[in-house]
Amino acid sequence: MRLRSGAIVIGLTLIFAILWLMWPSPINPVYWDEPEAPAMTGVLAPNDALRDARFIPVGLVGAARCVLLGEDGTVYYGNASGAVLRHDPDGGGAPDQVLAELGELPVIGLEWINPTKLGVATPDGLFAINLSDGSARRISAGVPGYPFGHAKDLAVTADGDIYFTDSSVLLGRRGNHRTDTLDMLENRPHGALYVWDPRTHQTRLAADRLYFPNGIAVSSDGQSVFISESFRYRILRHWVNGPNAGEIEVFADNLPGLPEGLATDGAGHLFVAIPAQRTAVLRTIRRHPWLAQIVSRLPVWLQPSGGAGRPLIAVLDENSGTIVSTLHDPDGGLCQLSDITLSSERDLWFGSSDCSYIARLPQATVYAGLERPGLATTGDGR
């Protein structure tokens, strides 16, 4: 009897396994010969720099995925419920003020359009908030016929042009249950870079076929914008001025993890938030499309997240693209880093997509080992 019961269980398991393997995959992956991750030695060697961060609790998980600073030291952040809030560090514990509520989707990008107007990115649109009266309006939902899949972050040039990333045109479409993990497993370029022109109030496509473009920042000299291409472990440079205007190139390649938020300091340094380091498991999956199809059928909680913990912030030279410094979390106490920005005093501020804090890293720690920057050449440093 026991043998018969065991045979039935084994048979049912085999039938389930066969049916599961035959079930159509939600992705059509391609081969990518992902390079071996750089060794965590030399400038990449772990240190305890991020242990000096100071934290401000702001509520629920994901309450401060993006962070922005005002000239008076006020901290602005967007939460997972579509609200933009203002925190006064000198407010004596007073509740944070809600400036605007933009819908149910999370606020994942903030930038100054001018001293009285905030630019805001949510997955389905680009908004502007007037700080004088709290009014908000959508200024872009994509180009005609091509709505955003997952608008992510924005940067404003000196001319007022607003550049912003759309991580994947396939995310967020009605009836589509695709996740960013599936985009990562597929190894196809579904992302794009857009620009909104304040003179014409029109949006145009600046570049397409990008691999999950994420964070974005204007270079210190204003000639280009840097874009983190998370699922290719690299930073792109898109020229916005000069003889190469409109061209895009690889600026830094084979980073030690998935790059997300970006910030420049006006002194030739690009700061890159890396919420997770790379794993050999994901490298193997990407080299075997058939394996990626199998993994794509697993429950979401069993699919790879894109990397191991151990977040860090890398500091790159804006001219050469080389990493000149790194700031590590030795205790594994930080949550997933997301947006980063610099104050006028060059303190580094950052948020998290899966915790509920805003963090500040003092300038002395940020620039340890680097040439001390002059402080008169920057605003908020985003």
CATH of the domain at 237: 2.120.10.30
| Residue 124, in any domain of the structure | yes
Q: How confident is the model at residue 40 (pLDDT cuts 50, 70, 90)?
A: very high
* Residue 24 in this model has a pLDDT that exceeds 70: no
Q: How confident is the model at residue 1 (pLDDT cuts 50, 70, 90)?
A: low
* Residue 268 in this model has a pLDDT that exceeds 60: yes
The CA distance from 286 to 34, in Å, is 7
Among residues 288, 299, 314, 301, the alpha carbon closest in space to that of 226 is found at: 314
3-class state of residue 22 by DSSP: helix
pLDDT at 381: 46
> What is the sign, positive or negative, of the torsion defined by CA atoms of 10, 15, 18, 21?
negative
* Residue 317 in this model has a pLDDT that exceeds 80: yes
pLDDT at 142: 85
| Residue 279, in any domain of the structure | yes
| Residue 89, in any domain of the structure | yes
* Residue 340 in this model has a pLDDT that exceeds 60: yes
366 vs 170, higher pLDDT: 366
pLDDT at 308: 63
87 vs 374, higher pLDDT: 87
* Residue 9 in this model has a pLDDT that exceeds 50: no
- Give mean pLDDT, residues 229-249: 95
| Residue 2, in any domain of the structure | no
Strands (E), 167-201: 191-197
| Residue 31, in any domain of the structure | no
**Amino acid at position 363, single letter:** Q
Phi, psi angle pair for 225, to nearest 5°: -120, 140
pLDDT at 371: 64
Q: How confident is the model at residue 321 (pLDDT cuts 50, 70, 90)?
A: very high
pLDDT at 380: 43
* Residue 224 in this model has a pLDDT that exceeds 80: yes
| Residue 201, in any domain of the structure | yes
- Give mean pLDDT, residues 217-245: 96
* Residue 256 in this model has a pLDDT that exceeds 80: yes
| Residue 208, in any domain of the structure | yes
B/e letters for 34-45, b = 16+ CB within 10 Å, e = fewer, are beebeeeeeebe
State both tokens at 47: 């240190």
Of 48-57, 88-97, 138-147, 362-371, the range with the lowest mean pLDDT is: 88-97
Sheet with 269-274: strands ordered across: 262-264, 269-274, 312-317, 323-328
304 vs 201, higher pLDDT: 201
List the end-to-end C-alpha distance of the chain, in Å, as a whole number: 70
pLDDT at 17: 44
> What proportion of the chain, given as a percentage, has pLDDT over 90?
59
pLDDT at 72: 87
- Give mean pLDDT, residues 304-316: 82
Q: Is 106 within 8 Å of 116 (Cβ atoms)?
A: no
Phi, psi angle pair for 2, to nearest 5°: -65, -40
- What radius of gyration, in Å, describes the C-alpha atoms of the chain? 22
**Amino acid at position 58, single letter:** V
* The total number of structural domains that make up the chain: 1
* Residue 144 in this model has a pLDDT that exceeds 90: no
159 vs 301, higher pLDDT: 159
Among residues 203, 178, 176, the alpha carbon closest in space to that of 192 is found at: 203
Give the range of the structural domain holding residue 83, as residue numbers without chain letter.
39-366
The mean pLDDT value of the chain amounts to 86
> What proportion of the chain, given as a percentage, has pLDDT over 70?
87
* Residue 139 in this model has a pLDDT that exceeds 90: yes
pLDDT at 274: 94
| Residue 213, in any domain of the structure | yes
The CA distance from 96 to 88, in Å, is 7
B/e letters for 134-170, b = 16+ CB within 10 Å, e = fewer, are eebeebbebeeeebbbbbbbbbbbeeebbbbbbbbbb
* Residue 367 in this model has a pLDDT that exceeds 80: yes
